[in-house]
Structure formats: C-alpha cells, structure tokens
Chains A and B, each alone.
Chain A
Amino acid sequence: MKSLILQTATRSLVAVMLLFSIFLLLRGHDEPGGGFIGGLVGAAAFALYAIAFDVQSARRMLGIRPQMMIAIGLAMAGGAGIISLLASEPYFAHLWYHTEVPGFGEIHLGTFLLFDIGVFLVVIGVTLLVILTLSEE
C-alpha cells in the first residue's frame, strides 16, 4: 500500500512521535510516564514508518537489529540492579546522586534512570522484533 498522504504525514509524524517518546521516558523520572510507555510510543513511530513505506526502510531507519537493542536494554536494566549489589545493597535498591548545576538548579540522577532507559530500549526492541517479523514475508 503506497499512499502519498500517509507517507507525507508519516515523515513529520515520526519525528514528533520519537521526540514525544523521549519526553515520556524522561518525565517518568518524577511523574507518571516512564520507559514502558515511552518505548511503546517509540515503537509505534517505527511501526507507522514500516506501514507507510516498507519494512526494509523501517529497519534501515532503526539502524540496529532489534535483537541487539533488546540486549543493550537488558544489559542497562539488569546492570542498574547489579550496581546496587556491588554497593552491598539489595538487588535493585536504587542509588541516587544529587548535585547542583549552576544556572539550572538541583538535579538528582539515579540508577533508576539507567533502568528506565534500559526498559525503553527493550520495549522498542521487542515490539519491533514482533511487528517486523510478522509483516515480512
């Protein structure tokens, strides 16, 4: 199916959706949001691209095999737990790092962020692996 309207809209929509997915991911730090729904929106962007154009170009746009994305995501999410173990804390006890950035205010970073980014990547990877596998052939 090749629709000019869909393809034109997709070009601009994909960028907005990807941006929105990252917004959702980072918003999850303190408020409702997070890696899971961020990842779903991100995967939806690639899926839309695959529908409007074709699976091959969606894979090219992704630039990395979904399997690899799952692996990196799992490594980050699991690694976040292992950092706590190395610090003699229970598995997945999140560690926080507070700092003052001049002109920006206080920020706090934690192993939790690493975990959330990992989830984000895993969700995109798994969803795309399934969607792209099903729509090929």
Chain B
Amino acid sequence: MSHDLLVALPIVIPLVTGVIALLFYEQRETQRIISAIGAAALLIAGIALLLEVRAEGILVSDMGGWPAPFGIPFVADLLSAVLVMMTGLIAFTVALYSLATMDPRRESFGFYPLFHILLMGIAGSFLTGDMFNLFVWFEVMLIASFVLIALGGERAQLEGAIKYVALNLISSAILLAAIGLLYGVAGTLNMADLGMKLQDVDEPWLVTAIGMLFLVSFGIKAAIFPMFFWLPASYHTPPIAVTALVAALLSKVGVYALIRAFTLIFTQETGYTHQILLVVAGLTMVTGVLGAVAQYEVRKLLSFHIISQIGYMLVGLAILSPLALAGSIFYIVHNMVTKTNLFLISGAAYRLQGTYELKQLGSLYRYHPYISALFFVSAMALAGMPPFSGFFAKLTLVRGSLEVEHYIIVAVALFTSVLTLFSMTKIWTEGYWTPSEAEENDELPPGVNSWPGWNSQMLAMFVPIIILAALSVGMGIFAQPVISLLIETAEQLLEPSLYIEAVIGDES
C-alpha cells in the first residue's frame, strides 16, 4: 500500500463512516452496523500504520501535494502511530459497547455520526505536522465532543457541557494567539520547520514565553494542575459510552500535543520549561488522586483519577530521558485501556444494579462474580499492581526518574500510587463486598442482582470489557516487547532531527 494512503486512512475512515451514517440519518439500525464496521476498519488501519512505521521509519504525506514546509504534511512517527492504533482500539471497543447501551433517542439524534467525526478529529490531531492544522483538528474534535456531551439534554449534561465548552474555548483562544505569535517569531507553522528554525533564535526567552502559552492551552485540554476543574464537572454527565470515549482519548490528545511541542519545538531552555512541567506533573498527580479519594460516585471518582494519571504522563516529558519518556508513553497506552475499561465496567454494573453510587451498589461480588473479576483486573492494573500493565508502566517511569536522580517526583508518584490503590480498594469494598443498606433490610427493588443471561446485548457489552481486561493482563505479562517498542518511540522523539529530516528532506 502506498504511504500516502496509509497515513491518510485513519482520517479518511472515520470521515467516510461519519458521512455514511449521516446519510442514513433516519435508519438507526443501518447506522449501528456502519459505526461498528467503521470502528473496526479504523483499528485495522491503525495496526497497519504502526507496523509500517516500525518497519520503514517516519512516514510523511504532503496533503494536497504541496511540499513541506509550504503545504500541510501528515506525519506518522512511532508516537503518532501508537496513539492512532490505540484510538482505533478504543473506538472499536466503545463502538461495540454503545450498541448495547446507547438509548434510541440519542441514536436518532446523530450519536454515530458525531462519534466518528470525533474520532476523525483525534486521528487528525495525532497525525498532522502543522501547528495551525493541529488547531483545526482540535476544533473538529471539540465541536464533536461538545455535542456528544450535551446530546440528550439532561440537566446535569447541560450544566457540565457549559463548563466544558467555556474552558475549552478559552484554551482554543490562547492556542490561536500563541500560534499567531509563533508565526510572528518564526515565519512558519510547520512543526518540523519550527523545530529547525527555533533552535538558533536570538531571543530564546521570547520562544519560551510562547511555549508557556502553549503549555497553558494544551494544559487546559490535557486537564493538568491547576486547570483541570472542568473535567470532573463534565465527564461524568453523559452516557457511559461517551464518558469512556472522551475520558480515554480527549485529554490524551492534549498530552500528545504537549509531548510533541516540548520535544520538537520548545527545547531552547529545558532547564526552565521542563522544570515547570515537572512541578505541574507532581501537583497534578496529587490533587487528582486526593479528589478521587473523597468521592463516592463511581464515575466522579474515575474522572478525578484521569487527572491524577495525566500527571504520570507528564513526568517522562519533564525528565526527557528515553526510559522515562517511554514510561510515560506506556502510561498513556495503559491508561487508555484500563480507564476505558473501568468506565465500561461501571456502566455494566449500572445496567445490572441501576446505580453509580458506591453505597447502593451492594455486594456485586456475591451476585456477579465474573464482572467483579474483570473489575478487579482493571482496578489493580490502574493502581499499578503486578503483573498487570500499570505495574510495568510505573516501573519504567520510576526507573527512568531514578536514573536521572529525580527522587522527589518518584516519592510523589509512589505516594499517589498508594492513594490510587486505596481508592480502588474503596470501590471494591463498598461496591463489591459490603451489602447495601437496602440489601440488608431486604428492600431490594425487583430485578436487581439477577443476571439476564447471555443475550446479544450482554455480549456487545461484555466482549469489549473482556478484550480490554485481557489487554491489561497481556501488556503486563508480555511487557518486554511493549517496552522495547516504546523505548524506540521515545528515542525517536528525543532525536528531533529524524522528524525534521523526514518532513523537510535533506536539502537544509
């Protein structure tokens, strides 16, 4: 297959899927089939892209045939390819899950087209090699997510959406202004070209100042300290399939943008910028997990955990050593899998028990031991227990930090880990072991605690959960190949000349 096609497919597939689904606006059943096929195709395209990038090195496709730095290139390096593949995986599992759980009203108001347009925006953000184009993909993604979060129009959703929209639009305005300033300084917006031209500017402080604007803007999108308050206010309000999708992907796009910008472009004064990143990473971890510990509603609790885990993803970027960066990327991959799965499982528990409140969930373990086992795997993976994926992600990160003697951040990470374990144990004891009050008094509403049997709906719900749980275990047991791939990724990121050479060519 030609490289142009391979690089464009992750964007074209969701576009085509979304458009076809929109053309069948009136036929829900058709839309469901199209959506599942499109998401599976995206996963396959992501895997093909990753294999090709690993074999051939960085792939570049100049959109419209205009050569970089004049046109807009799509660039797939290992980081982009890994994240695109993960997007495909999450898209596939959540698409399957939403077949079972999405209510007909939301389906007929365009859930599936929006779902795929959101995926297009995410894949575009991962693949583009141009700063302004990144802004455009951000907006595509944001508008789709705005509508997805508000779709259905329940009061909580609307209240969450208004905060989400306001904060993300501020971030977009800052990003736009920062892009303008960057263009004023460098005269280009191509990321590779920027990386080249900004290495020897006369006024590095000016570039650093612009870099801080980017940090604020991407930071709001990634939900880092102290700009994360929109996330726990909005992520838990829409249906669980939407929550799982945005939780797994949107803030990771912000993290990706930070990694890209601060490894390729803003590396003039790393002593200053990356020190700030390190402090922010530590504070993000701690504040996020402290928020989570105080919660008793599963979705809110998990939303706060997202924030805490964004902190881990920044540590490697702040330290800038191959091992630590590999650990951070491992953390992104691991977090996409586990966090999605925890949301999906809490959705399944809601489907069976009718509540998200820990106090009312009751003794799930007694009635649904299989769900409990699946939850246990994901929760322990999130807390970083061996032999699951989270353990090796954390181990790589901690070893990377110890290597360069950042002991404080290691201590903070391990402390956060303990609190994560504590809050996961809290879900386990409150939701899975302790009988609820209603249960103790024999006042359970009819239907609760019964198992509906393996009908097609249950299958569509549990197959994604089982796939993701299996991946959590698999990435732990077969951690070595994953780590070696990610170390390769990190080394590629820390050698910006590879990226620049692939995009611009040799003539410079």
Contact = CB atoms under 8 A, between A and B. Distances in A.
**B and A form one assembly:** yes
Contacts, number: 61
A89 B66 CA distance: 11
Nearest to A91: B8
B19 A90 contact: no
A29 B2 CA distance: 30
Interface in A23-68: 65, 67-68
A59 B15 CA distance: 27
B326 to A, nearest CB: 31
Given A90-B62, A91-B74, A92-B64, A74 B4 contact: no
Q: Is the interface of B mostly helix, strand, loop or mixed?
A: helix
Contact of A91 (B19, B22, B61): B61
A67 B4 CA distance: 31
Interface in B1-41: 2, 4-5, 8, 11-12, 15-16, 18-20, 22-23, 25
Contact of A71 (B8, B22, B74): B22
A90 B23 contact: no
Contacts of B8: 81, 85, 90-91
B64 A67 contact: no
Kindly state the interface size class of chain B when it binds its partner. Answer: 20 to 34
Contact of B19 (A65, A75, A89): A75
B110 interface: yes
Contacts of B23: 68, 71-72, 75
A93 B5 CA distance: 12
Contact of A70 (B12, B22, B63): B22
Interface in B33-66: 61-65
Contacts of A75: 19-20, 23
B19 A74 contact: yes
Contact of A67 (B18, B20, B22, B62): B22
Contacts of A94: 64-65
A68 B2 CA distance: 33
Nearest to B4: A90
A81 B12 contact: yes
Interface string A74-109: 110010011001001111111000000000000000
Contacts of A81: 8, 12
B19 A67 contact: no
B12 A88 contact: no
Interface string B438-474: 0000000000000000000000000000000000000
B12 A90 contact: no
A82 B22 contact: no
A76 B130 CA distance: 25
A65 B25 contact: yes
A85 B4 contact: yes
A85 B12 contact: yes
Given A90-B63, A90-B65, A74 B22 contact: yes
Nearest to B72: A92
B158 to A, nearest CB: 15
A88 B4 contact: yes
A115 B210 CA distance: 35
A83 to B, nearest CB: 11
Nearest to B3: A90
A131 to B, nearest CB: 17
A78 B19 contact: yes
A67 B110 CA distance: 9
Nearest to A95: B65
Interface of A: 65, 67-68, 70-72, 74-75, 78, 81-82, 85, 88-94
Interface of B: 2, 4-5, 8, 11-12, 15-16, 18-20, 22-23, 25, 61-65, 74, 110, 113
6 contacts: A71-B19, A71-B23, A78-B15, A91-B64, A92-B63, A93-B65
The 8 closest A-B pairs by CB, nearest first: A93-B65, A71-B22, A91-B8, A92-B64, A90-B4, A71-B23, A74-B19, A75-B19
